[in-house]
Amino acid sequence: MRIKIRIGKVEVFADLKETPTAKKVVKALPFESKAETWEKEVYFSVPVIAGLEADAQQVVDPGTVCFWTQGNCLALPFGPTPISKGSECRLADPCNILGKLEGDPAILGKVRPGDPIWVESAGQ
């Protein structure tokens, strides 16, 4: 499953795994949101509610597409957050792992809080 995420002037693609939460996100497409940032993480609310999956993680690689169950948000970390130890990407809480962004996730550094977001299917 492949999705396109347009955040202001930034456009990224993500490959999603076949997880229960990823399937819910794809089923909800297309949708709009507004960007929030938390140091080197972009996150935004999505019209999906999901519980924590067994393989949820709090420390992930840059560019991992995560679902924060406590906020019903997609989280896109691309570097350290305020609670990281060193250069790790540490999320606020354990999150469901949905997939990976294509290309260099550092492009998300151009995103500003309040930027409009459009998420849609990008085919297989």
Tell me which residue of 107, 104, 109, 98 sits closest to 38, measured CA to CA: 109
Q: What is the pTM of this model?
A: 0.96
Q: Which domain holds residue 7?
A: 2-121
- Output the domain CATH number for residue 69: 2.40.100.20
Query: For position 111, what pLDDT does the model report?
Result: 98
What Å distances lie between residue 110 and 36, 40, 67, 92, 102, CA to CA? Answer: 12, 10, 21, 21, 16
Query: For position 124, what pLDDT does the model report?
Result: 61
What sign does the dihedral 102-103-105-111 (CA atoms) show?
A: negative
For the chain, which ranges sit under pLDDT 50? Answer: none
d(Cα 109, Cα 121) in Å, to the nearest integer?
Answer: 23
The total of structural domains in the chain comes to 1
d(Cα 104, Cα 120) in Å, to the nearest integer?
Answer: 20
Query: For position 123, what pLDDT does the model report?
Result: 75
Beta strands in the chain (DSSP E): 2-7, 10-16, 31-34, 36-37, 41-45, 57-60, 64-68, 73-77, 89-101, 116-121
